[in-house]
Amino acid sequence: MNPPTGFRKNVFCPNCYSAERHRLQKLVLDKLIESNDFPHKKMLHFAPEPFFQDLFRNTFKEYVTVDLYMENVDVKADIINLPFQDEEFDFIFASHVLEHIQDDFTALSEIKRVIKPTGIAVLPVPILSNETIEYPEPNPFEADHVRAPGFDYYERYINYFQHIEKYSSKDFSEKYQPFIYEDRTTWPTKECPLRQPMVGEKHLEIVPVCYA
């Protein structure tokens, strides 16, 4: 049986079991690690996925994990009310988090508060629509997403960061399979009634690198 959000092709790497977003994010992170002095800096990782934890622990001098519900994190906290000092972190990573947060503007404000003026935040969300669609309530069939982010979603970041550099699937070799292969022409569905159809079966992922 296909999942309610649809079936995706070529999702997992047979060697490292990364999904499409992990592969694209890893390519972007490699660029950032190569060009920054991260071994002397402090990082905050929201909803820490196992795929990246060893990389971050081996890259940063201090590595802090945080989530409201996950076990085995350093700090349990809500992203809209963080228990950290102003300008505490040099690097923040929150992948596919903000589509779960109703008050994402307050979340962005908190991220901006705790990041240093010279800091970098990587804050990707899944691009699931041409234009962002807000839901009236979390959808349990979409892992409790409260919106379907569109290509316009990252415009919300403009008021919080000095500069945003966006990397997409097309910026890297297709040998890494960084695209999402999914038939979205059948949307909306019973389980996802607010998603709108998108043309084609090959879709972009985007990674925004936000400079404080």
Question: What digits encode the pLDDT tens for the residues 83-131?
Answer: 999 999 999 999 999 999 999 999 999 999 999 999 999 999 999 999 9
User: Cα(124)–Cα(29) distance, rounded to whole angstroms?
Assistant: 12
Residue 3 lies in a domain: no
Residue 123 lies in a domain: yes
Instruction: Give the domain CATH number at 68.
Output: 3.40.50.150
The total number of structural domains that make up the chain: 1
- Whether the pLDDT of residue 5 is over 80: the answer is no
Domain range for 197 is: 8-211
Which has the closest alpha carbon to 156: 201, 112, 203, 92? 112
Residue 2 lies in a domain: no
Residue 116: CA count within 13 A, CB half-sphere:
11
Could you report the per-residue pLDDT of 23-57, keeping only the tens digit for each?
999 999 999 999 999 999 999 999 999 989 999 99
pTM above 0.75, yes or no: yes
Residue 178 lies in a domain: yes
DSSP string spanning the chain?
---TT--EES-S-TTT---HHHHHHHHHHHHHHHHS-GGGSEEEEES--HHHHHHHHHH-SEEEEEESS-SS-SEE-BTTB--S-TT-EEEEE-SS-GGG-TTHHHHHHHHHHHEEEEEEEE------BSS-EEEEEEEGGGTTEEEE-BTTGGGGGTTT-SEEEEEEGGGS-GGG--SEEE--TT-S-SSSTT----SSSEE--EEEEEE-
- Mean pLDDT value across residues 55-77: 97
- Whether the pLDDT of residue 7 is over 80: the answer is no
